[in-house]
Amino acid sequence: MRFGRAAAPSRNRSGRQGAPRGWRKRILAVGAAVLALPIAAGVAAPTFAAADPGVFEDIMVNSSMGPIKVQVQWAARGGNAALYLLDGLRARDDRNAWSFETNALEQFRNDNISLIMPVGGQSSFYADWYAPSNTNGQKTTYKWETFLTKELPAYLETRGVSRTNNAVAGLSMGGSGALALAAYHRDQFKFAASYSGYLNISAPGMREAIRLAMLDAGRFNVDSMAAPWSPQWLRMDPFVFAPQLRGLPMYISAANGLPGEFDRPNSAVGVFNTGTAMGLEALSLVNTRAFQVRLNSLGIPAVFDFPAAGTHSWKYWEQELFKSRKQILDATGGW
């Protein structure tokens, strides 16, 4: 028997067909419908729960790295805009630090923009690496750029978030990562911010400084991320890809590393941590000033902020997020 061709109906001794013609049509119709069910089920799009406006939620999103946790505060009135908030070098596996080290959730609670806070990615620079780190037994290869620009937006679209109406901001490692994502995915991001970022990573000594920092934060090997001064390394450097930022609204900040209002160490450990934060912020300032000169030479405008005091710590980044809030909402229409 060939598919698509019905068998001849049987006849009784009187020569009449075994079933009335009307019943035969009904049987064929039911059979066709049953045969079609598996096909339809195979192509049906998955369904997702609609986002509840203003609700904070932890979600799991599939990726080539495995399931990735993402913390989300959905837009207050169901809007389609989103702000991606990227973590620092010591990103944790349980929570994105923007959600508990700062008042970011409160800052945008009444705005029509979703906060998207990916969890994990320690020492990743939110880049696509070419191999797993070979100094800490990493099993999978980091593919954070792919996740943040393909896999995560595809999921968020099912929850009402636009693929093309987004802002991205990050601190330290996340600062250069935010600019890279925006530079190479202009169709996705309408605004980018870097707070105390490292924006001239090909400057003398920077690769080795990053090497030491990554070994300290999870024993990651910078050589597994990108070979020295390879095209992949240069692709990650904001100083190099600066021309691709033309026309993008940006907010760039770094303090001078001097202790400020939020630096009040009261123990030996606190003094050590403050000293480390001072050095990291001073290095960020040098990088950010160089990046400012680079943009000026290209005639590319950006809003820069250089506070008179402040170290590499969360309360200062909380302030910088608030200073850039209007730009974020203007760019995305998330008011």
Selecting among 114, 172, 194, 253, the annotated active-site residue is 172
Alpha-carbon gap, residue 163 to 158, rounded angstroms: 10
Statement to judge: residues 246 and 97 lie in one domain: yes
Domain total in the chain: 2
Statement to judge: residues 62 and 198 lie in one domain: yes
172 is annotated as an active-site residue: yes
Statement to judge: residues 67 and 17 lie in one domain: no
Alpha-carbon gap, residue 269 to 292, rounded angstroms: 34
Statement to judge: residues 36 and 68 lie in one domain: no
312 is annotated as an active-site residue: yes
The pLDDT value given to residue 205: 97
Statement to judge: residues 40 and 60 lie in one domain: no
Statement to judge: residues 61 and 40 lie in one domain: no
- Burial of 141 by CB count in 10 Å (0-12 exposed, 13-18 middle, 19+ buried)? middle
The pLDDT value given to residue 51: 81
In a domain, 51, yes or no: no
In a domain, 3, yes or no: yes
Phi, psi of 304, deg, nearest 5: -115, 145
Contact 202, 240 (CB under 8 A): yes
Statement to judge: residues 2 and 80 lie in one domain: no
Statement to judge: residues 2 and 75 lie in one domain: no
The pLDDT value given to residue 295: 98
The pLDDT value given to residue 12: 42
Alpha-carbon gap, residue 99 to 210, rounded angstroms: 26
In a domain, 148, yes or no: yes
The pLDDT value given to residue 281: 98
Selecting among 99, 123, 224, 281, the annotated active-site residue is 281
The pLDDT value given to residue 194: 98
Q: How do the pLDDT tens digits run along the chain, 335 residues long?
A: 333 333 333 344 334 444 444 434 443 343 333 333 333 333 344 445 678 899 999 999 999 999 999 999 999 999 999 999 999 999 999 999 999 999 999 999 999 999 999 999 999 999 999 999 999 999 999 999 999 999 999 999 999 999 999 999 999 999 999 999 999 999 999 999 999 999 999 999 999 999 999 999 999 999 999 999 999 999 999 999 999 999 999 999 999 999 999 999 999 999 999 999 999 999 999 999 999 999 999 999 999 999 999 999 999 999 999 999 999 999 999 99
162 is annotated as an active-site residue: no
Selecting among 185, 196, 312, 318, the annotated active-site residue is 312
The pLDDT value given to residue 267: 95
Structure tokens at 65: 């790295």
Range of the domain at 290: 56-332
